[in-house]
Amino acid sequence: MRTAMSKRKKLLLKICMYTGYILIAMVFIGPILFLVISSFKPYAQIESDMSNFYAFLPHGTLSFDNYSNVIRKMDFLKYFKNSAVVTILFMAAATILNAMVGYALGMLRFKGRKIIISVIVALSIIPTESIIINRFIVVNQLGLLNTYLGLAIPSVAYPMYMFLYYNHFRGIPSDLQEAAILDGAGYGTIFLRIMLPLSKPILTTVAIMAFIRSWSDLLWPTLVTRDGTYRTLPLALKTLFSDTYTDWGQVFAFSTLTVIPTMIVFLLFQKHFVASVTSSGIKG
């Protein structure tokens, strides 16, 4: 009897757990499902479906009109190219330069190292908005307004990335570096040929975080760009909203096209991302 009761309790517990998992998954999947499905509906259909469950179902008239209007009328490909160039520049620079700082702090011993680490940790809690005006003034004085470099480079040094790399490199045995030094290798060679190949998970994690941060950034491009020449996707999406009329079908289509690259990048490199999360102790 006790065995039968314990089996029933375990079965009931599993049912409750999986039901909870499904409900939690729906909370995250629901908005994405609504976004994608609504992007195929005309404006009138979206309005009528908003008051019921049809908003999450491929119901009514479906077509690619919203996508064709966005790509042709909004010059989507131009803005996509701008976002891609800025994001690639930012991602490459942020991944390598912050790795160099993390390697120096995590594996080298020099005076003032602990103070620098404390400053980096303190800077990580300062919101970007509080220093963005100072950053803008510097970029303006350097003549980088309305350029790809002005959009990408000023945000490269990011305290959170530095701390992640520092956490990673301090966990690597110092014997590797000492052996390489005895063989005549310099710090640059050690970093490029030994440490970076051993850091693929954390490199991938920072690259994904940098990609998402740059790809979805709206505030900085709003300050730096002066016309449509270097306008990025989030800034272009903003132009679809109006005080008088907003075509939500086109907004959803534009948003779906903008989200797709982020999802592809994460799905391609999720194994490295998860490996880094479990090894470096990232929580939350």
pLDDT of residue 7: 73
How high is the mean pLDDT of the chain? 86
Give tens-digit pLDDT for 37-81: 989 998 888 888 887 887 888 878 888 989 998 888 888 889 999
Enter the tokens of residue 240.
């679809």
Q: Report how far residue 235's alpha carbon sits from residue 239's, in angstroms, rounded to the nearest whole number.
A: 7
Enter the tokens of residue 123.
């800077």
Which of 175-179, 184-188, 192-196, 256-260 has the highest mean predicted lDDT (pLDDT)?
256-260
Enter the tokens of residue 58.
């491929």
Give tens-digit pLDDT for 129-180: 888 999 999 999 999 999 999 999 988 989 999 999 998 898 888 888 888 8
Query: Which residues have CB under 8 Å from 283's CB, separation 6+?
Result: none
Closest CA to 195 of 84, 125, 280, 107: 107
Taken in order 58, 64, 70, 71, is the CA torsion positive or negative?
A: positive
Q: What are the chain's domains?
A: 2-66 (no CATH), 74-280 (1.10.3720.10)
